[in-house]
Amino acid sequence: MASKNLFCDLAFEPINGLFPYQPGKPIDELQRELGLKDVVKLASNENPLGPSESVKKRIQQSLDDLSLYPDGNGFYLKKALSDKLGVPADMITLGNGSNDVLDAIARVFLSSGRECIYSEYAFVVYAIATQSVGATARVSKAYQPDQQSPYGHDLAAMEALVTEKTSVIFIANPNNPTGTWIEPEALKQFINKLPRHIIIVIDEAYGEYLDEQNQVDTTKWLQSCPNLIITRTFSKAYGLAGLRIGYSVSHPDIANLLNRVRHPFNVNSLGLVAAETALQDEEYIRKSREMNKQGLKQLSKGFKQLDLDYIPSAGNFITVKVGEKSADIYTRLLHEGVIVRPIAAYKMPQHLRVSVGLPLENEKLLSALKKVLAHV
């Protein structure tokens, strides 16, 4: 039995009820534990292509500057983003991954006595950030499994929870871990109905994976929705998860507030130059999107052949229902050298989330899953 933390009484009370964020199991950890050599990780929604060659070259050229602090304002990356997005640089806030920006949003706009709203199967960081500042989370019911967007955000249910205490609404689009997506027109109508004192956060970490015909530039909405914050990351489609860099686009006054609580030098030098370079590599993004599209088809087909239900996904992962023995199946997959993501923490104990890998990695997962299911 774990002993009581001696310092709980000294901590900010809401922290005592928090549990640390649990990332996907690292490859080397599994190799150490089970003595395996051939391990495939499909747990953390990483880009299996790895960083582009242009990014690796730029990083190599920047190694001699590691003894120097990075540009704390990220001037050149902000300029590149400004040029790419067509927004002024003072609307951009850089973060150590988009998680860093989400945490800053909570620290600026949430506190004891204030409330935030998010969907019941939304990204777990919203709950962690909310509780860490002592705010109250109001969790809306998602669509039922038999509805058109199973497990997805029900905007009407979210709207019904709005009160005079509501300060922030978090919406992941596409959503992690369900992969569900809200059509732009429905989302914009929802935003337009909300009071202007509520900060609406659209988390677009997986936005680059949407088909081009479904992509909408939500930064254009900022002109009529000054209370909107859009968060994005270089960790997914751009293949830079290890460098931890993300950003938000918002009204300049909101960006000013976020930058007041942003930690000094929160983005490292290699992250800055890598993101700036990656931003220009449109062919890499096109290749990543196409590989992901084919990978989703491969996994979906495989799950159907195994008679497993799954949630259609707009991200670079797919969530599959394996039943009440999901924890056992997860463990058995580890022994087969395949790491996926259990999502009981998201109140989905019968599901596993599978990142899209390279074709051979996807096939290894499907073969291992077939073998495991025959023995549970």
CATH code of 34's domain: 3.90.1150.10
Residues 302 and 163 occupy one common structural domain: no
Of the candidates 245, 188, 240, the residue with the CA atom closest to the CA atom of residue 218: 188
Is 1 part of a structural domain of the chain? no
**First-last CA distance in the chain:** 30
Residue 332 and residue 376: Cα distance in Å, rounded? 9
Considering the domain architecture, whether residues 144 and 61 belong to the same structural domain is answered as yes
206 in the same domain as 332? no
Do 314 and 265 lie in a common domain?
no
CATH number at residue 203: 3.40.640.10
Over residues 212-226, the mean pLDDT reads 93
Residue 122 placed within a domain: yes
Give Cβ neighbours of residue 86 (< 8 Å, ≥ 6 apart).
219
CA 122 to chain centre: 10
pLDDT computed for residue 20 by the predictor: 77
Whether residue 247 is predicted with pLDDT greater than 80 in this model: the reply is yes
Mean pLDDT of 371-375: 95
Is 331 within a domain? yes
User: Is residue 113 scored above 80 in pLDDT?
Assistant: yes
Q: How far apart are CA 55 and CA 194, in angstroms?
A: 41
Measure the CA–CA gap between 321 and 215, rounded to whole angstroms: 28
- Assign 376 a pLDDT band (cuts: 50, 70, 90): confident
pLDDT above 90 covers what percent of the chain?
Answer: 90
pTM of the model: 0.94
- Say whether both 91 and 217 belong to one domain: yes
Query: Do 335 and 235 share a domain, yes or no?
Result: no
pLDDT at 320 over 80: yes
pLDDT in tens, 141-177: 999 998 889 999 999 999 999 999 999 999 999 999 9
Order of all β-strands in the sheet with 115-119? 92-95, 246-250, 228-233, 199-203, 166-172, 115-119, 136-140
C-alpha span between 367 and 348 (Å, rounded) = 24
Domain C-terminal end among 258, 280, 302: 280
What pLDDT does residue 364 have? 98
Residue type at 323 in one-letter notation = G
Asked if 194 and 119 sit in the same domain, the reply is yes
Note down the domain range covering 363: 9-50+283-373
136 and 74 within one domain: yes
**CA proximity to 358, closest of 304, 288, 306, 305:** 288
The CA-atom distances, in angstroms, between 192 and each of 181, 207, 221, 283 are 19, 21, 10, 35
- What would the two tokens of residue 206 be? 């997986």
Domain contains 258: yes
Residues 140, 244 within the same domain: yes
Give yes or no: residues 119 and 259 share one domain: yes
pLDDT of 46 strictly over 60: yes
Please give the tally of structural domains in the chain: 2
* Tokens encoding 295: 């990978």
The rounded mean pLDDT for the chain is 95
- Looking at the fold, whether 258 and 298 belong to one and the same domain comes out as no
Q: CB–CB of 338/299 below 8 Å? A: no
Residues 220, 368: one domain?
A: no
What are the pLDDT digits (tens) for 59-100? Answer: 999 999 999 999 999 999 999 999 999 999 999 999 999 999
Using N-to-C axis directions, what is the helix angle for 252-261 and 98-109, rounded to 10°? 100
